[in-house]
Structure 1
Amino acid sequence: MRKKSYIYDGYLSESSDSAELLVNDYDSKLSRDIYHYLISSSWFKIFLCVITLYFLINLVFAFFYWIIPNSINHESKNFYDAFFFSIQTFSTIGYGSLSPTGIPANILVTFQSAIGIISVALITGIVFSKFSKPTANIIFSNKMILSKIDGKTQLSFRMGNMRANDIVQAKVVLSALIDEVSDNGSSFRKIYDLKLRRSNTPFFKLTWTLFHSLEENSPIFTSGEIRKDLRAIAVTVTGHDSTFSTTIFARHLYTKDMIEKNKFFKDIMYDLPDGRIKINYEDFNTLV
């Protein structure tokens, strides 16, 4: 059985069901919000959808041009001519060698040219929106480490700004997702905020290691160990990108099996003789 998760008022609960989560009686992300689906999709998927729709629309109209008698003023009556005429009409090219004849064919041309103009406008808007969508190129260490630092047990991870531009007033929020049982026996997942030694920085340009102390009433640490009912630790980062003058964010999720004990991150920053700083991202996830 597949598990479904629901978030409500800061709680994340689960129920087992073989069906997908339904939102407003729609079971497809595409049917719920086509615009959001396309904006959040990869470039490959967008171009694949555009090319597929392009050929599908032209094939449908070509079929109608083909079955309507004498719809095109051309000696050849094969499907290929109808298809290429459909492409010329949809793209509003109009070479002149092929043209519609008769009222039914002209009605089809009217509808197809309108669809072509609207399609170009919609595709242009989606491509522009995806290009202008603010994104952050922030990477996270693939492990969290649990070790003694400054005499205290600390849970730490690190981030890197791969663009090396200024992210102004960067802020990090660390949250723990813990499975709990209520007084009436209902299971739910509660979200706890985890206090960081430093949760914000004026400029985030290179790398940043963050620490959460497990000895200061931490909700994920009991009896000297990480709680067994800890499901995951979520990291969210927000800041102002000085290059694009917009707010950006990034997120990452650590599960309990991603926590390594008694390890430390390898130093990846070096001072060069000319005064510059070198960051060796090849060792970004290396533990010592």
Structure 2
Amino acid sequence: MRPSQKKPTQKRRLPKIKILIQNGRFQVVGMGAWYSYWRDPYHLVLTIPWMGFFCLITLTYLGINALFAIAYLAGGDCIANATPGSFLDAFFFSVQTLASIGYGAMYPKTVYANSVVTIEAMFGLVGISVLTGLAFARFSKPTARVLFSRVAIITPHEGHPTLIFRTANERRNQILEAQMRVYLMRDEVTAEGHHIRRIYDLQLLRNQTPGFNLSWSVMHTIDESSPLYGYDADALVQMNTSIVVSLSGIDETVAQVVIARHTYAAQDIFWNYRFVDIIHFTQEGNRYIDYNQFHEVVSLGDFL
């Protein structure tokens, strides 16, 4: 067959992902729907809500027992002390076999029934192992309870305009060797006229701490080397700018890596504001932190 006569290969149709921009925030339609992962069942059972997980396990359990009940009924009167042709008796006999409960009044009395029991017992051993592993994987997933301030600010600090936002550890333990990474994302047009979403690393005054257990004010100085240098609030909105924050560290309780993420849209960045101080002193000279004003900001004009 000549090369020109070869049949064209059929291309695989790939899904289209819709991206919306609402209030400066990118939203990927359909990415958060847990029911869209049927092609990856392991990822499905780890990401669906607990109610969906229990419903899926229950339906699977009932379905397997129903199939084996039909298999027992196909063998005729093969279960002792069971009503011939009774689906309920065959179903509950399957439940006893699958869960390795041990037979009471009903038991297999033919070679056919014992063969089906052998197959179902193997399914039961594998099923219990898989279910135990999935449940443990869901329970043991490390999570971080980190609070981020609802807004970020750009305010003078040490003589330079500085991007600042707050974080706090909501647990009563420490996140050891905590590291903070901050990225700036915005729409740009290249010299060739191509529209791209460019990502910049923001250098922080302090990007790590040996133990994160209270609060942390994260700062980025806006100088000539900063990708924010020379831009104002309107420019950030027009370029669909967003600040992506990623915090990682080791939870001292479970000794596992935990990760927390947060995104600030351009509308979440307040210019010429400052955070309300949350550290106070008692008359005895001791310090305490009041998290009730953790998100509060005030305009610098109030101090002029």
Cα offset, 1:137, TM superposition: 1.7
Letter in 2 for 1:104: Y
**Structure 1 Cα separation of the partners of residues 125 and 211 of structure 2:** 46
Q: Give RMSD over aligned pairs.
A: 3.1
Deviates more, 1:98-107 or 1:234-243: 98-107
- Aligned residues of 1:39 and 1:126 also touching (Cα < 8 A): yes
Letter in 2 for 1:284: F
**Structure 2 Cα separation of the partners of residues 272 and 47 of structure 1:** 51
Determine helix, strand or coil for the equivalent of 1:129: helix
- Aligned residues of 2:82 and 2:90 also touching (Cα < 8 A): no
Q: Deviations over 1:7-59 (max 9, x none)?
A: xxxxxxx9x9x9x89xxxxx953423x33333344433332322221122112
Matching residue within 12, 18, 27 for 1:3? 18
Matching residue within 159, 163, 181 for 2:189? 181
Alignment identity in percent? 34
Counterpart of 1:262? 272
- 1:131 has 2:139 as partner: yes
Deviates more, 1:275-284 or 1:234-243: 275-284
Structure 1 segment 97-136 matched on structure 2, within 5 A: 97-136=105-144
- 1:65 has 2:72 as partner: yes
Residues 272 and 87 (structure 1), Cα distance of their counterparts in 2 relative to 1, 3 Å cut: farther
Q: Deviations over 1:109-154 (max 9, x none)?
A: 2221111111111111222233333322212122222333444322
Deviates more, 1:235-244 or 1:168-177: 235-244
Determine helix, strand or coil for the equivalent of 1:104: helix
- Aligned residue pair count: 271
Cα offset, 1:262, TM superposition: 3.4
Counterpart of 1:8? none
- Aligned residues of 1:177 and 1:192 also touching (Cα < 8 A): yes
- Aligned residues of 1:269 and 1:280 also touching (Cα < 8 A): yes
Residues 250 and 215 (structure 1), Cα distance of their counterparts in 2 relative to 1, 3 Å cut: same
**Structure 2 Cα separation of the partners of residues 96 and 283 of structure 1:** 65
Question: What is the TM-score with the length of structure 1 in the denominator?
Answer: 0.80
**Structure 1 Cα separation of the partners of residues 185 and 297 of structure 2:** 25
Query: Can you give the 5+ residue segments of structure 1 that lack an aligned partner in the other structure?
Result: 6-13, 22-26
Letter in 1 for 2:56: C
Query: Can you give the 5+ residue segments of structure 2 that lack an aligned partner in the other structure?
Result: 1-15, 21-25, 299-304
Q: Deviations over 1:227-265 (max 9, x none)?
A: 331432111112233332333222212222222333333
Determine helix, strand or coil for the equivalent of 1:66: helix
- 1:233 has 2:243 as partner: yes
Residues 281 and 42 (structure 1), Cα distance of their counterparts in 2 relative to 1, 3 Å cut: farther
Question: What is the TM-score with the length of structure 2 in the denominator?
Answer: 0.77
Residues 273 and 96 (structure 1), Cα distance of their counterparts in 2 relative to 1, 3 Å cut: farther
Structure 1 segment 1-288 matched on structure 2, within 5 A: 2-3=17-18, 29-32=37-40, 34-76=41-83, 77-225=85-233, 226-227=235-236, 228-271=238-281, 278-288=288-298
Cα offset, 1:2, TM superposition: 4.6
**Structure 1 Cα separation of the partners of residues 104 and 168 of structure 2:** 58
Determine helix, strand or coil for the equivalent of 1:222: coil
**Structure 1 Cα separation of the partners of residues 283 and 199 of structure 2:** 47
Deviates more, 1:40-49 or 1:96-105: 40-49
Deviates more, 1:181-190 or 1:268-277: 268-277
**Structure 1 Cα separation of the partners of residues 251 and 123 of structure 2:** 39
- Aligned residues of 1:171 and 1:200 also touching (Cα < 8 A): yes
Max Rg structure: 2
